């Protein structure tokens, strides 16, 4: 089988809602409609780490970006972002296409297009230093698995 050489980098919880703060899960497991669309396009999926899970585990409570933004948490996000950027660069240097980075709108850690989350700030800062500019997409705050997501799903063009 010939591989597509196309990869999308996605926030961890798009594939695994079990890491999301209680009670904010929006699917039982993965966001099925989003993953289905990516699979139909023949695109490989790189699941980025969940910084909030790494720092505070499963029993954490909802917190704002300001509350998360300590030196320790920023250092953790920077370290995870560096690892992610290195993986991404390995694909690019081997002529793979990164079709985009998919984050979570409204997340203090993983939002890209709204108020940018801490992990995404660190990741895009590293990428921009290397002059790597990628398609940025966020799962909207009102996405709910198997509800009316047609508009968002139809916009996912790779
Ligand atoms: S930190 Fe990111 S990956 Fe983890 S639950 Fe929040 S939005 Fe999802």
The tokens for 31 are 């966001």
Confidence of residue 157 (pLDDT cuts 50, 70, 90): confident
Distance CA 103, CA 136 (A): 8
Please give the number of the atom of ligand 1 that sits closest to the Cα of 13.
8
Q: Is the CB of 13 under 6 A from ligand 1?
A: yes
C-alpha of residue 52 to centroid of ligand 1, in Å: 6
Mutate which of 51, 101, 104 to test ligand 1's pocket (most atoms within 8 Å of Cβ)? 104
Please determine, for residue 3, whether its predicted confidence score (pLDDT) is greater than 90: yes
Which residues, at least 6 apart from 133, have a Cβ–Cβ distance to it below 8 Å? 127
The tokens for 92 are 């690019």
Please give the number of the atom of ligand 1 that sits closest to the Cα of 19.
5
Confidence of residue 22 (pLDDT cuts 50, 70, 90): confident
Distance CA 86, CA 92 (A): 10
Tens of pLDDT, residues 59-111: 999 999 999 999 999 999 999 999 999 999 999 999 999 999 999 999 999 99
* pLDDT reported for residue 47: 98
Nearest to 91 by CA among 99, 102, 81: 99
* pLDDT reported for residue 19: 97
Q: Three-state DSSP class for 97? A: strand
Distance CA 64, CA 60 (A): 12
Question: Whose Cα sits closest to atom 2 in ligand 1?
Answer: 110
């Amino acid at each position: 089988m010939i591989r597509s050489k196309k990869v999308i980098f996605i926030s961890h919880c798009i594939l695994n809602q079990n890491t999301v703060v209680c009670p904010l899960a929006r699917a039982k497991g993965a966001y099925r409609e989003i993953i289905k669309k990516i699979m139909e396009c023949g695109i490989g999926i790189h699941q980025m780490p969940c910084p909030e899970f790494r720092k505070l585990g499963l029993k954490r409570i909802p917190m704002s970006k300001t509350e998360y933004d300590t030196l320790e948490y920023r250092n953790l996000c920077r370290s995870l972002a560096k690892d992610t950027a290195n993986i991404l660069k390995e694909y690019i240097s081997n002529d793979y296409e990164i079709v985009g980075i998919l984050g979570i709108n409204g997340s203090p850690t993983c939002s890209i297009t709204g108020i940018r989350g801490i992990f995404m700030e660190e990741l895009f800062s590293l990428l921009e230093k290397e002059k790597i500019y990628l398609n940025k997409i966020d799962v909207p705050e009102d996405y709910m698995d198997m509800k009316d997501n047609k508009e968002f799903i139809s916009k996912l063009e790779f």
